[in-house]
Amino acid sequence: MPNKYIPYTLNDVNKSSARKLFTVISTFAGGGGSSTGYRLAGGDVLAINEFVAEAIATYSANFPDTKIIPEDIKKLTGSDFLQATNLAVGELDILDGSPPCVAFSIASGAKGGAASKWNKEKTYSDHKKVTGIEDLFHEYIRVAKDIQPKIIIAENVPGILVKNPKIYQKLLSFIKGFESISPGYTMIYRVLNAAHYGVPQARRRVFFVGIRNDIIKKLNLQEYHLHSLFPTPSTPQGVSIFSAIHDIKNDQAEIEQLRAHVINSFQKKYIDTMPHNPQKAIKPSALSGEYRKVGEYNKATCFSMVRPAPHLPCPTLTQMGQKMSASGVLHYEDNRKLTILEMKRIMSLPEDFILTGKFDHQAERIGRMVAPKMMSAIASNIYETILKPYKEQQND
C-alpha cells in the first residue's frame, strides 16, 4: 500500500539548514527546488546562479538571504562563485547543477510527433531564446574545474541514458569531462524515482555524482562504497497523489478558471471520455473509437494528457504540460488541470512556498524543479557517507 505524504513548511527547511552541515553552490537553480532539498538535509546554500527573471523572483521570495548571481553561466567563471562566497579552490562541499539539454529529452529523439518538433525550438527561459543550449553541460564542467568542489552533483532526464550512438557519445564526453578535472573525479550515476523518497510523483531522473579522487583515497573507498551514495528508498511502495492533495483547500476561482478552460478548448472532447478515478493512469491514446485516430490525436497535441490513478503516485509534471492551455496531468476526479497548490504538494514543495508570476509561470517553475524531498535524501546520504567522515578525518 502506498505511503502517505508528509507536508512541511519553509520554517522546517530553514531550521534544518541552520545546522550548516555542508556547503552548497547551485547553478541552473531555477525557482529553488534542489536548493530546498539541500537545506532540508542540513545544507548551507551559499550562492546560486540563475538568470531567468521569474525564476529569480521566485527564489528570492523564498530565500531572500541567499546570494544570487543573475548571469548567463557562459559569462561566468568559477572564480566569480568563489569570490561571491569567500571560498578557496577545493573548499566547497557540493557543486550542484541541472543543465538543460534538449538532446537528452525523452521526447526529442526518434519518437517524432509534436514533441520532437517542439524541442527543436525549445527555449531555456520564459521569454528569451538561448543559443548553444546543448553546451550548458560543458559550461557546468568548466565552472567545476575552477571550483574543484569535494562533490559534484548533476541531474537530468533519463533520456540521457538512451541507447543511441550519438547521445551515448555525448554522455561519455560529459563523464570524461568531469573525470578530467584536476585533481580528478570518479563519476557514478543512477536513475532514481522521486516516488521512492516521499514524493507523490513517479518522477524518474538520472543523478550524476562525482567524488574528488583525493577524498576517495583518504577514506579508502572501494567501488561498492561509492554506489552506496545513492539512498535506499524510504517509501518503496510510492506515495499516492490522493494522500497528497485530497485535503487541499483550493481557491474556488482558480478551480472554475481551470474547468472553464477545458470547456472552451480542444481538451474537452478527450477529457470527457476519460473515466474518473482510474485504476491506473490513462491517456486518450488508450481509449477506443474515434478518439484513437492518429491524425486527430496528434493535431490536438494530447501526447502528454493523462488522468492519474488516485491510489498511485502522480505521473511526471513537466514544465510545458502543466500550463493551462497545454496537455498534461489532469485531476483524478475532476475535468480540469491541477491547481498550483496541488502541483506544489505533488512536487514536495513546502506548504508556504511562494511562486511568483501568473499561472503558467508558476506551473513552469514547478515542472522544471528537482523534487526537494528526493534531493534531500540524496544530499543526506552523501553527507553521511562522504562529507562527514572526511571532515572528521581532517579534524583528527
In tens, the pLDDT along 225-257 reads 888 889 999 999 999 999 999 999 999 999 999
Q: In this structure, which CATH number among 3.40.50.150, 3.40.1180.10, 3.40.30.10, 3.30.1060.10 belongs to the domain 10-239+370-395?
A: 3.40.50.150
Residue 174, classified by CB atoms within 10 Å of its CB into exposed (0-12), middle (13-18) or buried (19+), is: buried
DSSP β-ladder status, 94-97 and 151-156 = parallel
HSE value, Cβ hemisphere, 13 Å, CA-based, for 1: 4
Across the range 53-68, mean pLDDT stands at 97
pLDDT value for 107: 38
pLDDT digits (tens, 9 = 90+) for 182-192: 889 999 999 99
pLDDT digits (tens, 9 = 90+) for 146-187: 999 999 999 988 877 777 777 778 788 888 888 888 889 999
Q: Name the amino acid, one letter, at 113.
A: G
Cα 28 to Cα 35, 154, 273, 319: the distances in Å are 11, 10, 40, 15
Query: Using DSSP, how many helices (H) and how many strands (E) does the chain show?
Result: 17, 7
DSSP β-ladder status, 43-49 and 67-69 = parallel
Cα distance between residue 42 and residue 291, in whole Å: 50
H/E stretch holding 361 reads helix 359-368
Provide the whole-model pTM: 0.90
Least confident of 101-105, 121-125, 189-193, 320-324: 121-125
Cα distance between residue 330 and residue 373, in whole Å: 23
Provide the Cα torsion 83, 87, 91, 97; round to 10°.
-50
Cα distance between residue 143 and residue 146, in whole Å: 5
Asked if residue 219 has pLDDT above 90, the reply is yes
pLDDT value for 223: 79
pLDDT value for 101: 64
Task: Show me where the domains of the chain are located.
Answer: 10-239+370-395, 249-338
pLDDT value for 299: 40
Residues paired with residue 202 on neighbouring β-strands, in sequence order:
none
What is the number of other CB atoms lying within 10 angstroms of the CB of residue 223?
9
